[in-house]
Chains A and B, each alone.
Chain A
Amino acid sequence: MTMTDAATPANTVLGKRRLRKEDPALLTGEAKYTNDLNIPGALHLAVLRSPYAHARILSVDVSAALAMPGVVAAYSGADLVPLWAGPMPCAWPVTADMKNPAHSPLAVAKAAYVGDGVACVLATSDAAARDALEAIDVAYEPLPAVVDLEDALSDRVVIHDELGTNKSYTWDLKCEGAEGQVDRAFAEAAYTVSEHYVHQRLIPMAMEPRAVAAVPQPFGGDITLYSSTQVPHILKVMTAITLGIPEHQLRVVAPTVGGGFGAKLNVYAEELLCTALARKHKVPVRWNEERTENTQATIHGRAQRQHIELAADADGKLTAVRVRLLADMGAYLQLVTPGIPILGAFLYAGVYDLPVAYDFSCTSVFTTLTPTDAYRGAGRPEATYAIERAMDALASKIGIDPLELRKRNFIRKEQFPYLAFSGLTYDSGDHELAADKACELADYTGLRARQQAQNVEGATKRLGIGISSYFEMCGLAPSRVLASLNYSAGGWEAATVRVLPTNKIQVVTGTAPHGQGHETAWSMIVAEKMGVDPDDVDVLHSDTAIAPLGLDTYGSRSLPVGGVAVAMACDKVIDKAKKIAAHQLEANEDDLEFVAGSFSVKGSPDKAMPLAAIAFEAFTAHNLPDGLEPNLEAQVTYDPPNFSWPFGTHICVVEVDTETGDVEVLTYVAVDDCGNQVNPLIVDGQVHGGVVQGLAQALYEEAVFDEDGQPKATNLAEYLVPAASDVPSITLGHTITPSPTNPLGVKGIGEAGTIGAAPAVINAIVDALSGLGVTDMPMPASPQTVWKTIQSAQGAMK
């Protein structure tokens, strides 16, 4: 692994590799996850789930379950209807005519996927509750499953009777001035490609499945909801609305959360069930998800069919992009389900300079499968995959090196800030630099020579080189842009910085870390700004009573929005401290400078006052300037003026065993540019994990269902999450193009690795096999799939 240290010389903390302060508690088992909480007297909830993908619920008989030892209550979906003040929330009605089926925490009339909750039990132990599920008698009338997207679109079987159709919506991206341009560009093109790709369904599979505990205060009326969630703030608002609880009586806490990857950016049935039943029974109610349950009852990701067409002139310069998506919503719309394909809508031209000729349309349908929603990258890996695979197809059509084609089309450095066809402004970038750096690290020229020597006629071990250059649109998001996309919330983030009397600093953040390392990173930002040691900074988060304002963690937003808010709050505190310093030093504010945690009069360094002294003055308030409030604390709510636009180039080198179809990744180079880095160690970790997740989509993972909608990958033996021994050593490189959008110059890095990886891997496999007539490779490229693809390509060549 190569490490590039991104430290800016002027900084003392920012940009330096620093171990994470979160890790000792996590590594020693001291950290408390939701299921570790000791909650005396809690009842355990277990949910009976439909074994059918699609079935009418004729009757539910819980009487035998009620007679089981330890069982306190058992309910059918119909029994609980009075508890719901509103439907399960979907916060993203992407079009005015979007169809959204009725969805309640337990199904009442119909089960619409395997895993859909139909009844539940409360018992004195988890084991007793789960045993009792077996005694519930549900009479089902099985109905035909709808698994295939085209089949869904045909309305052969309509899943939600009240909608009359399986189509949820069609969303078009209307680019000003594009009218007629696209057709003209295709008519006049020297080269065109028309490619079809499938993004298989993926299971996010956080190491910690979900867990919930709702603890009521029967006589005070308040209730605390603990949940393994990425979105305590959103969950609080939505739970209050859905259950009709006065919002001020609800507190949401996310204890240590063992990964989310977007799957915990949601409001789930079990959160609502625990809260409602805890209120009803006036005792705590908790639920812990099993692994198999997690593969069915927690959202899935991706699940799209893509048709992308590119038009190019004689030099290979792109002249138009046309995209048609068919997206699988699953059985219901969860919190942001319909918006996921839309998050990718702007990126199907990738890092390339494209005139206004862009035509995007997405149609989304219901199936009788687990609902889909956000999964690491959410829409953007899909977009990047399509354009980067199609660029390879175009290069092969033109007969030039895929790297050369990319270079001819990159948005050039001097074109930034770049106003894109979509009306969005890409604030910064240097794609050529990132690509050059990746090529240098991978020895691209050497590899091509090696490949020529190795992939001779009859060779059974074939070398392939895949490139993927990506643009990522993250740091969600400018609230006004979200408004234009019909998203029902803003994109701001809040931070409070509080200097305690003894000069220790508390940061309150609205972000909700679940593995990312915000405590370390926010401490470093504060340390740099305030001249204190990062260990003297405490970061408070993920509890709506402590951090009441926030919009949580997803969409690689935490640093470019939440971290920036922290930095801005520091500036506000420093401004206030300066007033106190000026007052105490009897100097003019303009004559003061703040260096290494101390204010001094420019030119006379002995006239100085350290922050520690000011903090104490602010606390005692004995001698403050007239009109200045005591205490040293500031709050900032920051609404970003633009997205953040990280980018990079990944190169994957594979060797394919054509006899068995086995793919070995020999080299993986990732050059990512996330602007200024707060902690390069965390950046590397995010890229490692992200790359592995993309590689997992390319090679291993798939939520397989049979034609009856029965899930076939329901545990970690069947759903192939790669382990450390299955992934290559990743060579990392970075370029640094600071974001001009925010004062820290930072961009998100949480999803970039995943976005870049899958197309790099598949491009490499197709490249390895191009001599055998292979032009595409479905994901996951399992050995069997690779072998079959070679067989049919060979058959076609004969």
Chain B
Amino acid sequence: MIKTDILIIGAGPTGLFAVFEAGLLKLKCHLIDSLPMPGGQCAEIYPKKPIYDIPSHPEILAGDLVKNLKKQIAPFQPTYTLGESAISLVKADDNNFLVTTNKGTQHLAPVVVIAGGLGTFEPRKPPIEGLENFEGKGVNYIIKDPEVYHNKKVIIAGGGDSALDWTIFLENIAASVTLIHRRNEFRGALDSVEKVQQLKNKGLIQLLTPAEVIALEGDDFLDSVIVNHLGDSKSIECDSFIPLFGLTPKLGPIANWGLEIKKNAILVDNSLDYQTNIPGIYAIGDVNTYPGKLKLILCGFHEATLMCQSAFKRIHPDRKNVLKYTTVSGVAGFDGSLKEASKSFIKAIK
């Protein structure tokens, strides 16, 4: 059981910055994220793209923003449960909530902050009839253990980096790899495109373009896929079909926690402290909504700051808290580090 002061669901920019503001108030944070790395949309969707509206950064790459946030919060030693989705949130006792992930990891905290953005990133599934019946029975959207494909006949569909990269990787392991894409053009790193071209030239992989998987066959387990190639349909025998069309965010389990939901977001109490209809549960960043809401990083930072003040009062009802400037009082990390402004030097000139 993981115990902490503030449990943050979602390690996007908003969740990460909340660790800093909580740290200034000496509150410890643990973050859960379904992605294998922190950074949310900035890390998953557009790490190499510039952002121009972060105050005092005329331009910053989304990936660098995440890197800087991680550096800024490092003194407060946040801990993480990564690659796991929070699927249930219940009251454990009068003062604590219990949050459990899809892998069964349990977390206990007096304050839960949902910073889940647009939700968990789920694989995009092509609309092929019966696809779901074969999930885990020949159809997989994520490759967890490549060794599973040892000596197997694999079909990959997609036209981006992951389809290219996995084609290259699995060619070494699988009995055969067929890459199927609706166009002849691929959108990926140049060297991956060239590598796949070489594999095709050497006859080490099959490339079917422009083509599309339109149906699946098999009784209990997948036996073959039906492919439409230049207007003709043909069946290709296979052990595995891996559609790789990227990820898309879905609000997911958050919608079932008894929180008031409006327009696919969590309704909060009108930007006072971003508390939800359940006291002790807050929602900040892209995941919340209130009149005038803007889904922007800088707004998420502001919401994280106000939320922490309220969370402090909840955790320490008997303690007074006064706002302090970091310039004046410095930043004392839980790791013993201290950052502070250099003191002015006073000495008489004779």
Whether chains A and B associate is: no
Interface residues of B (CB under 8 A from A): none
Interface residues of A (CB under 8 A from B): none
